[in-house]
Amino acid sequence: MSKPEDKLKIICLGDSAVGKSKMVERFLMDGYKPQQLSTYALTLFDYETKINGKMVPIEFWDTAGQERFASMHPSYYHQAQACILVFDATRKITYKNLTNWYRELRKYRPNIPCLLVANKIDADLGVTQRSFQFGKKHSLPQYFVSAADGTNIVKLFRDTIKAAYAYKQNPTDYVDQVLAELGNFESGKLDENDEAIFKLTSKEDQAEEF
């Protein structure tokens, strides 16, 4: 039997309607039992998987109904071991708002692994050919996924679980590793490229629905 302290906590962050819930649901597919905590607009998804021959319980935390960026309660971040940070590849505003989400995440959890996700690639396959600077700037691994058709969802969640597990085993090592990787990236004014990337989707930005 696993003990409660063995549990991995993985949080999802990102604007409303980027597809956070749909992604978790897609990964868990059958047999998931979300536990609704309506007071906090929070859904917890329990999952279990084998790592190094041992069953490890995992809890995915998913918020609901954030109309725009608003601060989360600090308990959302408490003891989280990994974060899935999501934007909608067809809506520029959700990409721009990553800065706010990321800033808040780092305020509470400076060192946990954070995986950056461009969701809804089924709606614009061309997006996978583009390079988004936010991930490079902050040295975040980036995934192009579609919760709608399942592309890369399993890989994303498996990698996230591995990263959360590694962080929990040895947080210090993980920080060292990230710092080493940071050295490989140039920081600085790369955001102009992103403007160009999103020009292609500016029509969708203006539409109410897409």
Ligand X SMILES: Nc1nc2c(ncn2[C@@H]2O[C@H](COP(=O)(O)OP(=O)(O)OP(=O)(O)O)[C@@H](O)[C@H]2O)c(=O)[nH]1
CB of 46 to Mg ion, least distance (A): 17
Exposed e or buried b per residue across 186-203, where buried means at least 16 C-beta atoms within 10 angstroms of its C-beta: eeeeeeeebeebbeebee
**Residue in 29, 37, 64, 125 binding Mg ion, rule: CB under 5 A:** 64
CB of 55 to ligand X, least distance (A): 28
Q: Is 37 in the site for Mg ion (CB under 5 A)?
A: no
* Nearest partner of 67 among 102, 124, 18, judged by Cα: 18
CB of 174 to ligand X, least distance (A): 27
Task: Tell me how far apart the alpha carbons of residues 34 and 25 are, in angstroms, rounded to a whole number.
Answer: 9
AA identity, residue 108: Y
Binding part of the chain for ligand X, among 29-37, 142-150, 158-166, 177-185 by CB under 6 A, reads: 142-150
Q: Binding to ligand X (CB under 6 A): which residues in 151-210?
A: none
Task: Tell me how far apart the alpha carbons of residues 9 and 113 are, in angstroms, rounded to a whole number.
Answer: 12
Exposed e or buried b per residue across 85-104, where buried means at least 16 C-beta atoms within 10 angstroms of its C-beta: bbbbbbbbebbbbbeebbeb
Q: Is 94 in the site for ligand X (CB under 6 A)?
A: no
Nearer to Mg ion (CB atom), residue 119 or residue 160: 119
Q: Is 21 in the site for Mg ion (CB under 5 A)?
A: yes
Q: Is 116 in the site for ligand X (CB under 6 A)?
A: no
Binding part of the chain for Mg ion, among 5-13, 18-26, 155-163, 185-193 by CB under 5 A, reads: 18-26
Contact between 2 and 57 under an 8 Å Cβ cutoff? The reply is yes
Q: Is 120 in the site for ligand X (CB under 6 A)?
A: yes
* Nearest partner of 87 among 78, 96, 77, judged by Cα: 96
Q: Is 123 in the site for ligand X (CB under 6 A)?
A: yes
Pairing mode, if any, of strands 8-13 and 82-88?
Answer: parallel
Nearer to ligand X (CB atom), residue 4 or residue 65: 65
- Applying CB under 6 A, which residues contact ligand X? 16-22, 63-66, 119-120, 122-123, 146-148
